Amino acid sequence: MILAERYQIIRRLAQGGFGKTYLAGDRHLPGHPHCVIKQFFPVDATAETVKIAQRLFSLEAETLYQLGTHDQIPTLLAHFEQAGEFYLVQDYIAGQDLTTELKQISATTDRAQYTYSLLMGLLSTLAFVHQNNVIHRDIKPDNILRRSSDEKLVLIDFGAVKTFQRGAAENTVAIGSPGYMAPEQQAGRPCFASDLYAVGVIGLQALTGKSLQQQPADPQTGELQIATEIAHSELAEFIAKLIQSAPGDRYPNATLAAAALKELSTLSTNDSLPKTHPPSPTANDAHIAYTVFPPGITAPHPERTASRQSSSTEYAETPTAVRNRQALLNKVHRFWIQGVLQHSLHGQVLLTLGLEERNQALALPWNISWESESQPIQALAAGTSLFSRFQHLGEGRSLLILGEPGAGKTTTLLTLTRDLLDQWQPGQRIPAVFNLSSWTGESLDQWLISELNSKYQIPKSIGHSWVQEQQLLPLLDGLDEVRLDRRSRCAAVINQFYQDYGPELVVCCRMNDYEALEEQLTFQSAVYVRSLTDQQIWQYLDQAETGLTGLRSLLEQSLEQSAAKPKAHTGQALFELARSPLILNIMALTYQGISAREIPTLSQSESYTHQLFSAYVERMFQRRGFAGVYTKQQTLRWLRSLAIMLTQTSQTVFLIERMQVNWLTSKPQRAAYVALVVSAFLMIATAVGWHVVRRQALPLALIVGGAICAKIFGLYRIVPAEKLCWSWREAARSLLLGITLGPLIGWLLKVTFVYAFSASYCLSTPGCFQSISSIGLSFGTILGLTYGVIRGFSGSQIAIVTKPNQGIRQSAKNAIFFSVIATVAPWFIAHSFDGSTSPLFWAAAGLTFALATGGGEACVKHGALRLVLFCQGRIPWNYARFLNDAADRIFLQRVGGGYIFVHRLLLEHFANMPAPHKRLH
């Protein structure tokens, strides 16, 4: 069976009450790597059972997507429906479940130390789960794996999870495993402490060496008891607290339990597993499990042993600051590690890239002069990780990564990012990846604040404090992608930032482009990413599962022809291209499963790289095998347009909501855009003006209103709104301002318009001035109060989940929310004093407020821009769906809510493609 036209089912692994689990191969990747697929398939297919199973299955997918950034929690790769059946897709690793491990503990093992390490590893993971308001509900030895690659515990099977809702008292379905379910969980009222009960039972098994059925229990109540021989030890007392029958007698959550466990004086000196822990599982003990954070790692470096999770007692910060830091860490991991590194083309060539010391490339301080001719290039020891090299530099470390195009510089940078995330602990700088292609000339600190806001959805106030307080570790990719006339200036700005702030920094650049800079970086160290060796190339091609025998034969024939005709250099040039991991992967994806005779002969009159990329693009349309929404011609045209605009605007990561008016390349296009935006503004001005000044002043109102909108909002800058968050401080300040200035502004507007257009009537009517003054003051007070309430929703908070075009969606939500407040509340108040007030007036006023404060104007301008580009045939109507389709064809990669080409060379290939003759709509 083939699922989603991608996953080849190999065999069934297991079956439970609500589903089946299969081992499958991913046919879209070289070597068809294995993965695990969980199918929704209830054994008892009654209506009620199916309803429960569907809910739990969807909840498992949502939970894994939310929690999958943690080192020891499964990562969700896909969630899809086919033929009415639902499937979850996860990676596969070798490991051993805790049930088997507990049976293998030898008699010489220090059980106290082993149990302590077991509980500490499990509680640190469970703390992250509880901090995200999730109750696991099915913690048992079968659902805990010892990952063979690094011997860490992995918590799996989130099929019984429940979201914790504070204050909720309703019962739920009793789900769990007998013996590990707390009493309140059996009664349908689970809480965080319910998970701790299961952890305590597991700890009791580990400490005593007895199975669950062998544990002593109270004959009357059935409650578990601590054996007499261990009852007075610190660890036994801790476990006894975990298995109390009343949840109030246990620790409230895993964070506090982990903190208490770490305080045990006799055991807390050693958090790692003792040397006497059970042996690593052999191949015969292999257990199908899940690949977890960081994805794609099969043999972590020994230096990466510290967990990035810690209890709340270790680092004193406010809860908001902790959440903000964790949010950025999660985003960096999800965007760059899961979204890019895990699916990188380089990642398909599982070879270790060599590194060389290249400090000659740096402008070292203290006037030290390096003679490049006499200074030999020093290759770092084989297997040396960039992480260990970076750690060796110490506090204030700075590193420059150099290499040739396609050599793996970005992959090396992201591998370093992954290792930094893995060992991150509270109090350390937050590693965050930025692409320098969007730098436009400002100071680096201001640029970082702007990038945090646009790429990671970090409010500028938070980003400013992080930069000023040196809480970031910027990893800057693509110095060579900065516009040529700005590149040297960018290097100078980086040096100035490094001098002013003394931060930790990493910069990545192509070797030739770096050597052409007028100013070199003043960093501590520089490394050069070496090309693949002959041995590495042949070793990769010889792997049986890759299906690259045809490519190997082609390269061998090319080398033979080159030896026979050395002047042609054709074969050697083709083999030299294969030294680039990127090009080798392009060759692998293009020619996988094809014999040498079927591979087209490359023309010497055209660039080999161009021919390879053209063949790659063609193969991606052929090998995917699914009926896409878009034709090949449409896909190529729109990808070409995207590549050209990213090149012209010096961008690498494309976010739909960050499209700007500079995408319009002709005067007619800009004129059409301006007409659409101004028309929308005039419609709002008409609605308001009609009810404020009536017909006699409507033309003037339209002119004034349209001019004010254009001046305030601007026509050529689109800034999506941020996530709403209530701030009492901002609300109080805005209310004070609104109550102070609102009545005055309302009075001035009312008096000015009345005397400007009805002066004769008002002068001849007694009490007119008093009446219009009262109305103006009331109107201004209402607007001031509304302004204060609306501005209260401007607190800074980081958006946790990002989706394509989320910024515009958030702007639309804000606009609707603010328009309702600014319509209903003032109308209700005004109607109490003046029943003749038209609801249409307040509807128009509310819409105006939505434009002014809620992001409505961003929606208007973004919609106008998209409409013009669509009518020109440069983008599809549903842009997000098209970009996802292109990502499925391995042309693009998802980076959070944005997209990047799988490599800069592929972007350049699309940008240089000839324009199609036929226009698409």
Compute CA 212 distance to the chain's CA centroid, rounded to the nearest angstrom: 41
CB atoms inside a 10 Å sphere around CB 731: 18
Q: What is the DSSP string of 18-52?
A: SEEEEEEEETTSTT--EEEEEEE--SS--HHHHHH
Q: Which residue in the list 26, 138, 157, 195 is annotated as catalytic?
A: 138
The answer to whether the beta carbons of residues 74 and 290 sit under 8 Å apart is yes
The answer to whether the beta carbons of residues 153 and 125 sit under 8 Å apart is yes
What are 161's two structure tokens? 């999870």
| CA–CA dist 183, 176 (Å, integer) | 11
| Cα–Cα nearest to 735, from 679, 666, 781 | 781
| CA–CA dist 522, 492 (Å, integer) | 10
Q: How far is CA 374 from CA 238, 355, 378, 610, in A?
A: 64, 20, 12, 38
Q: What is the DSSP string of 629-646?
A: SS-HHHHHHHHHHHHHHH
Q: How far is CA 144 from CA 34, 69, 113, 157, 212, in A?
A: 21, 17, 19, 9, 16
| Runs of H (alpha helix) within 624-727 | 632-648, 667-692, 698-713
Indicate left, alpha or beta for 286 from its phi (over 0: left) and psi (-120 to 50: alpha): beta
| CA–CA dist 899, 772 (Å, integer) | 56
The answer to whether the beta carbons of residues 754 and 700 sit under 8 Å apart is no
What are 674's two structure tokens? 């301006």
| Cα–Cα nearest to 119, from 241, 302, 297, 298 | 241
The answer to whether the beta carbons of residues 624 and 889 sit under 8 Å apart is yes
Q: What is the DSSP string of 138-163?
A: --SGGGEEEETTT--EEE---TT-EE
Q: How far is CA 506 from CA 335, 353, 356, 372, 437, in A?
A: 18, 18, 16, 23, 15
Does the annotation mark 485 as catalytic? no
| Cα–Cα nearest to 202, from 234, 244, 243 | 243
**Per DSSP, which regions of 233-365 are E strands?**
355-357
- In the block, which residue shows the tokens 């946790």? 800
The answer to whether the beta carbons of residues 8 and 28 sit under 8 Å apart is no
For residue 529, what are the β-bridge partners?
Answer: 355
| CA–CA dist 277, 98 (Å, integer) | 12
| CA–CA dist 509, 517 (Å, integer) | 11
Give the H/E segment covering residue 788.
helix 768-791
What are 287's two structure tokens? 């257990």
**Dihedrals phi, psi of 456, to nearest 5 degrees:** -110, 0
Residues designated as active site: 138
